[in-house]
Amino acid sequence: MTSASPPAAPETAVIIVAAGRGLRAGGGLPKQWRDLAGRPVLAHTLAAFRHAPGISRLILVHHPDDRPHAAALTQPEDLLVEGGESRAASVKNALEALASTHVSRVLIHDGARPLVGCDLIARMLAALDGAVAAAPALALTDALWRGAGGRVADTVARDGLWRAQTPQAFHFTPILAAHRAYPGGAADDVEVARAAGLDVTIVEGEEDNLKLTVAADFARAEAILRGRGMEFRSGNGFDVHAFGPGDHVWLCGVKIPHTQGLVGHSDADVGMHALTDALYGALAQGDIGRHFPPSDPQWKGAASHIFLAHAIGLARGRGFRLANCDVTLICEHPKIGPHAAEMQRELSRIMEVDMDRVSVKATTSERLGFTGREEGIAALATALLVPA
């Protein structure tokens, strides 16, 4: 009897709404394009979702005048959609652009909320396992007044009141239908969903997930980012592979002709293995063997870029980016110098980082030890992760 295949994971898209012209924050630009800690606000927002676990695709909704700026921040697999006359119209444009895809769930997020955390994204996705719609919010704790003429006119009970946030999460088909039926003018997508009769589950939000609206919000966001910047993660990796039969070696993703090959369960790319372990080490996630056990036959002969891509993806999913890495190959032969630049390019491509963040170099052991006797190759690697 053949067992049934497990159900495929739901495909989840993130719609980032950034088509507004809000200028209350000052700076002469719509707030999503203003500088925040050296990058546009929207660059921080995109980075928060770029490699979050469970996210399949990213849609950026932009003003028609901003398309060149939007294209500069996105990747080829992302979808750019022009916004409408209102926020609701912009969201509807994005949902319609996804209507012919296999997306089954969608997160809808304000582009001016650049500090959304990975934990909140994960909570929103988890909420959809048991609800058709969910939204993050924070319970009101301050006293509330109603004012008139600059004076307190009345007090308002705060019981049951919440401060709404994004990303708001929905099963795709119901929220698309809700937007198609809505006449327009909604403050957010929860209003659209409720008008269609959808129940919306409240999920605990985050204090840091503020929406940038006025100039003071930028100062607060800068302070939060500085605080996050205090956490640096560094890791070291070391690997060794012996020479064996063959006519080439794989080193840092580059195939180099040689009189021997390297022996290993996978492709024995000693440099990439050391770098991968450095990334896992920075995250306190063990080593390659924990994630890709050599006892598992599916990894026999596997290309090592699979391991490296997994490690850097894990880092991004936890809210980190690679500040820099350094790989040292230790061998007498083959000569590494002629191939170092190509190795640097290949590692930067796999990790999707600029080349100036990747260093590859080589040394010998002065004919001492197993590398000096040309019995194999060793590699050392160091990686530094910083908040994204």
CATH of 12-228, one of 3.40.50.720, 3.90.550.10, 3.40.50.200, 1.10.3720.10: 3.90.550.10
**Max mean pLDDT range (13-27, 44-58, 184-198):** 184-198
Percent of the chain, pLDDT > 90? 81
Q: Return the pLDDT at 29.
A: 82
The mean predicted confidence, pLDDT, of the chain is: 92
Confidence band of 2 (pLDDT split at 50, 70, 90)? very low
Whether domain 233-387 has CATH 3.40.50.720 = no
**Distance (Å, rounded) from C-alpha 321 to C-alpha 12?**
22
DSSP 55-109: --EEEEEE-GGGHHHHHHHS-TTSEEEE--SSHHHHHHHHHHHHTTS---EEEEE
Q: Return the pLDDT at 22.
A: 67
Is the pLDDT reported for residue 283 higher than 90?
yes
Confidence band of 232 (pLDDT split at 50, 70, 90)? confident
Beta bridge partner(s), residue 113: none
Q: Return the pLDDT at 168.
A: 98
Is the pLDDT reported for residue 4 higher than 70?
no
pLDDT of 18-51, one tens digit each?
998 866 655 678 899 999 988 899 999 998 998 7
| Phi, psi dihedral angles at 309 (to 5 degrees) | -60, -35
Can 12-228 and 233-387 be said to share one CATH topology?
A: no
For the chain, the structural domain boundaries read 12-228, 233-387
pLDDT of 164-181, one tens digit each?
999 999 999 999 999 999
Reported pTM: 0.64
| Bigger pLDDT: 144 vs 185 | 144
Q: Which long-range contacts (CB under 8 A, 24 or more apart) does 81-84 make?
A: 82/19, 83/17, 83/18, 83/19, 83/20, 84/19
Is the pLDDT reported for residue 371 higher than 90?
yes
